[in-house]
Amino acid sequence: MSEVAGLAEEEAGTEGEERESGAGSGILRVFGRQLKRFRVRAGLERAEFGSMTGYSVSTIAAYEQGRRVPPPKFIDQADEVLDAGGVLQEMKEEVARAQYPAFFRDAARLEAEAVELHVYAMYAVPGLLQTEAYARAVFSIRRPLLDDDRIEQGLTARLARQEIYVRKPAPLMSFVLEESVLQRPIGGREVLRGQLEQVLLIGHKRNVEIQVMPVCREDHGALGGPFTLIDTPEGRRIAYAEVQGDSRLYSGQSKVRELDARYGILRAQALTPSESLAYVEKLLGET
């Protein structure tokens, strides 16, 4: 659901839901056909074209067949080498969106443009905080099992989201993590240690606050599951929730207010940011 569609549904008093679609694979096939057409027009074999751009024959084939998401750098190179006149570059944004699952594409766009992000995580370290090793482990243990190409595609997309930390102006970001999230050794103890170090590093950024929700708390403001609050440049707050691959973008005022209130209660119940970073340091000492 796009933000525009969400706002229209808000006026109607309903909430929308993003479902899986073939939109991502469709744009990849279109891009692949155009890429092949320009390569053939230039009289280049895949091996020759690959050597000019620094990619293997198998990778070029995967791009042309719509099986892998080409990075922006490749698209720029291909457009120039093949003298495509900007045709390939014009598809760059849509191709980039295709690297995310269909249910997350609009949320990823809103996240990338957000002026504020507030994330509650209760199962695993959220993607914006994950190390490469931790993210790879998360994709590798997913059931049903993903093939290697899907794992690499998911990993590339997840790490690309972390470019938000170098954005200017920097968005204001906060995270509330369940204590159990920081103790679950996804990928093994060494991977967990690296992940804790990353949480500590990002938690010291001036625009980021990380809080830990202790398991010993008798009261809990959000047992309904994880969610994210996204503030757009236009001054709107939108909520995103995902459970078992089923996701929703909420723009209706009543639902957003409800989740906003839950997040405020969570922050009051959790350890303070300084207490939370001290707790992470303690865990690092134990690991």
pLDDT of residue 102: 67
Per the CB < 8 A criterion, the answer to whether 125 and 137 are in contact is no
Give the SS3 label for residue 164: helix
pLDDT at residue 17 greater than cutoff 50: no
Give the residue-averaged pLDDT of 266-281: 98
CA distances from 123 to 106, 171, 244 (A): 22, 24, 11
Percent of the chain with pLDDT over 90: 74
Average pLDDT, rounded, for the chain: 89
pLDDT in the model for residue 72:
86
- Evaluate whether 71 touches 4 at the Cβ level (below 8 Å): no
Binned at pLDDT 50, 70 and 90, residue 150 comes out as: confident
Mean pLDDT score, 218-243: 94
Among candidates 67, 87, 187, which has minimal Cα distance to 138? 187
pLDDT tens digit string along 89-115? 999 888 877 777 666 778 888 999 999
Percent of the chain residues past pLDDT 70, beyond the cut: 90
Q: Output the DSSP codes for 106-139.
A: HHHHHHHH-SEEEEEESSS--GGG--HHHHHHHH
Which is more confident, 192 or 72? 192
Using one digit for the tens of pLDDT, what is the confidence trace for 251-265? Answer: 999 999 999 999 999
pLDDT at 103: 63
Evaluate if residue 13 carries a pLDDT over 70. no
7 vs 136, higher pLDDT = 136
pLDDT at 24: 56
Residue 171, pLDDT above cutoff 80: yes
Calculate the alpha carbon distances from 262 to 119, 230, 266 in Å: 12, 14, 6
**pTM for this prediction:** 0.73
Residues 6+ apart with CB under 8 A from 251: 3, 6, 7, 9, 10, 15, 16, 236, 238, 239
**Mean pLDDT of the region 14-34:** 63
